[in-house]
Amino acid sequence: MGNQLKTAALLAALSGLLIAISYWVIGGTSGLIIGIGLAALTNLFSWYQSDKIALAVYRAQPVSEAETPGLYRIVQRLSQRANIPMPRVYIVPSQTANAFATGRDPEHAAVAVTEGILNILPEDELEGVIAHELTHIINRDTLTQAVAATVAGAISFLAQMVSYSLWFGGVGSRHDNRGSNPLGVLLTVLLAPLAATIIQLAISRTREFSADAGSAKLTGNPRALARALQRLEATARQMPLNANPAFEPLLIIHPISGQFLGNLFSSHPPTEVRIEQLLKLEQQLPTRAY
């Protein structure tokens, strides 16, 4: 519940930032309408197309049960346990080790894993990873991330429009008589996209903790996911899965170097913190029978 409230607050902050930049920079009611209309159009597009775009970005290919029986069996078993429709299964042709889920709801969802993750993870750790991705689907995190990305993109687009207008006559002379402060406009153009990115990444970090907890409960084996995260981070640092940065929050892990700035601009919480939380959850779960 705490993570859900935090996510709602961050989405509200992101939406408020879009309204503020539209009102302050473009101009009053007209700017507000433009900002809301732009957000509505991008969100409508992401609602129906975000899964197709994400799968295309990572060049994911659909696979059948005959092609990957082990993976298919894990996804099928965990989906039944979670009481959701089985998502489509995809393989990403990359030797790096990673995974992601996409889709606006459980009825239109997909789980994708790389060839590399299938090569390095034993079955119990792969099960923890798949349960993590299914939890994203159950919690509608894939839709939340799509909304956050499109609103952040709208803010960046507005800021870019204003930066162009500064070169071609300014922005304050074409709307009401407020007489926009050029320095204030410049700071808005520079800082608004940065703030939007930080909020978007904060939303992603919040949802990762929830997905880790959901995986622990779904499998009853949080230590397996903890081991998987350690293994995935080590391999991802050596061989990162490169793609459009807008889709990095979808991945189960995206290590970044550095401390304060690294954490601030990372789409994921520090792996050691995630592992620590998982091991705490292990103490709270009933003993698993083997």
Supply 105's token pair.
Answer: 């709801």
Q: What is the C-alpha separation between 245 and 162, in angstroms, rounded? A: 23
From the list 228, 239, 236, 238, the residue with the least C-alpha distance to 254 is 236
CA-to-CA separations, 100 to 20, 32, 41, 132, 162, in angstroms, rounded: 33, 35, 25, 9, 35
Strand partners, 89: 111
Cβ-based neighbours of 4, under 8 Å, separated by 6 or more: 210
Q: What is the C-alpha separation between 81 and 244, in angstroms, rounded? A: 33
Cβ-based neighbours of 195, under 8 Å, separated by 6 or more: 17
Q: Rounded to the nearest 10 degrees, what angle do helices 141-167 and 123-138 cross at?
A: 70
Supply 133's token pair.
Answer: 């991705």
CA-to-CA separations, 10 to 164, 182, 194, 226, in angstroms, rounded: 29, 29, 14, 27
Q: What is the C-alpha separation between 19 and 33, in angstroms, rounded? A: 9
Q: What is the DSSP string of 32-65?
A: HHHHHHHHHHHHHHHHHHHHHHHHHHTT-EE--T
Which strand (E) or helix (H) includes residue 91?
strand 88-92
Q: Which are the catalytic amino acids?
A: 133
